[in-house]
Amino acid sequence: MSVFLEFWQPWVNHLLLHLKDAPAVVVVMVFFIAWICSWLPIGIILAMAGLWQPGKPLHPEQKLPLLVPLYLLAPLIIWGAIWLRNTSFSDYGLVANISILGSLGLGFGLGTLSLFVVFTWQWWVGFCNFQKSNIKQLPSILLPILLVGLLVGGIEELVFRGFLFTQLQQDYPVWVAATISSCIFALLHLIWEQTQTIPQLPGLWLMGMVLVLARFADGGNLGLAWGLHAGWVWAIACLDTAQLITYNGKISEWVTGKNHKPLAGVAGILCLLLTGGMLWLFSNFELVIDKG
């Protein structure tokens, strides 16, 4: 073992030395490679246990064992990048103070409210039906799905609107960094499911752009974006799990969302545009207050 370490140590030191001042694109590529490689042994074990078959569609019950370890590894990889680049989590928008909880709650409320408005509109015009008899399923699923939503929203915001966007912003204008980070965010969803994800790609990209705007509206912190993301995940997952909404086919699924995915339809896009407009007004209001 000592011989193995002595052989690789000069190469590792050489890599670390160059990464400290490397361009943002290189740092981003190394981050994703390190993230995937650190998770790969876990993926192999799950595949050998028959819990995952690479290349085949995932069932809902298969996602959690795959995603939880992957997401839990992300902060560790970012911590390594922080050590190399001599930065901190606060540079990526994750601040350790009570204000982030307020922003988290505000974002969560705004995310759930925007979906409530969109689905209420669809029900009111007769595009979908509300299954009142399934409400009884909600008490048992609200908290578990909330925890999943907070985990998914928190990690994805730290990775994409935190680390990735901040790194790209060092070498590119803000709008370019936002566009690239949102494209990567959208395309990486293809890893798990291709058929249902492809129609959602424009919506996922727009979602990424709205969440970048949320970070700006929150003064560079991730609390508002985290809350929005978690609220959307929580609300959609609760509706799907309890089967509270059924579509009656009165209008094209490209309006309501292809494959019953809101981001793959006009309704989901309108939800994002509505949220983005509210964030834009909020950020401009904050700017006026600061100047005053």
What would the pLDDT profile of 206-228 be if each residue is shown by its tens digit?
Answer: 999 999 999 999 999 999 999 99
What would the pLDDT profile of 153-163 be if each residue is shown by its tens digit?
Answer: 999 999 999 99
CA–CA dist 189, 168 (Å, integer): 20
Structure tokens, 134:
């399934």
Tell me the domain boundaries of the chain: 1-87, 95-291
pTM of the shown model: 0.89
Percent of the chain with pLDDT over 90: 57
- 73 pLDDT higher than 80: yes
- Chain length of the chain: 292
**Mean per-residue pLDDT for 47-52?**
76
Handedness of CA 84, 88, 89, 93 (dihedral sign): negative
CB atoms near residue 197 (< 10 Å)? 20
Give residue 282's pLDDT: 75
Mean pLDDT of the chain: 86
What would the pLDDT profile of 268-280 be if each residue is shown by its tens digit?
Answer: 999 999 999 989 8
Q: Which long-range contacts (CB under 8 A, 24 or more apart) does 164-167 make?
A: 164/28, 164/31, 165/212, 165/215, 166/91, 166/92, 166/93, 167/24, 167/27, 167/28
CA–CA dist 246, 76 (Å, integer): 41
CA–CA dist 209, 24 (Å, integer): 19
HSE, side-chain direction, 13 A CA sphere, residue 252: 5
The confidence band for 124, taking pLDDT boundaries of 50, 70 and 90, is: very high
Give residue 55's pLDDT: 67
